[in-house]
Amino acid sequence: MAIDPIKLPVLAQAKEDENWRFRTFLKGYDDENLDEVVAGLTKQVWAGIDCTKCANCCKTVPPTLSEEDVGRLARRLAMERDEFIGRYLEATEPGADNPWIIRSTPCPFLKDNLCSVYGDRPANCAAYPYLYEPDFNFRTMAMIQRTFTCPIVYEVMEKLKQVTGFGRRKRR
């Protein structure tokens, strides 16, 4: 792993002001292929990082769950839905797409940096850190926050700065 997950918050803090300037830069960056660029960088970075050596997301970010996630996990654990909710979840905001959130961190299903319910993990966990989602340019605030948690996001942001020419001085 290129970045030690323990040092990641310090690295991200050192880059936070720059990342906010980068966010502003991206708002004026005219590239309709930005999502493809981000996806390509993500694939490249992800190939060099073993998430099971990190598991920072599972240690620090409680996922939200849909009703479908709740049912699937309750079945996986051979529990009644209400028992599963009572043991692991609390309600999120009324009307939220995902009405439940894991109430503890690290995630109770994290065992030796591995997800013990991996095949049935919540959809939010499967999609994390959301770098393959469309409209990256509209999600940069969340990406800046994720630089503190996910080495992949941190490295993708740094590579994206290079690819887009952010910070290069204009020559006269």
DSSP state of 91: E
pLDDT beyond 80 at 170: no
* Best CA proximity match to 118, nearest among 53, 58, 45, 49: 58
Q: Tens digits of per-residue pLDDT, 116-153?
A: 999 999 999 999 999 999 999 999 999 999 999 999 99
Q: Which two tokens stand for residue 39?
A: 């996806």
User: If pLDDT is split at 50, 70 and 90, which confidence band does 31 have?
Assistant: confident
Q: Tens digits of per-residue pLDDT, 37-61?
A: 999 999 999 999 999 999 999 999 9
Residue type, 80: E
Distances from the Cα of 21 to the Cα of 15, 25, 69, angstroms? 10, 6, 37
The predicted model scores a pTM of 0.91
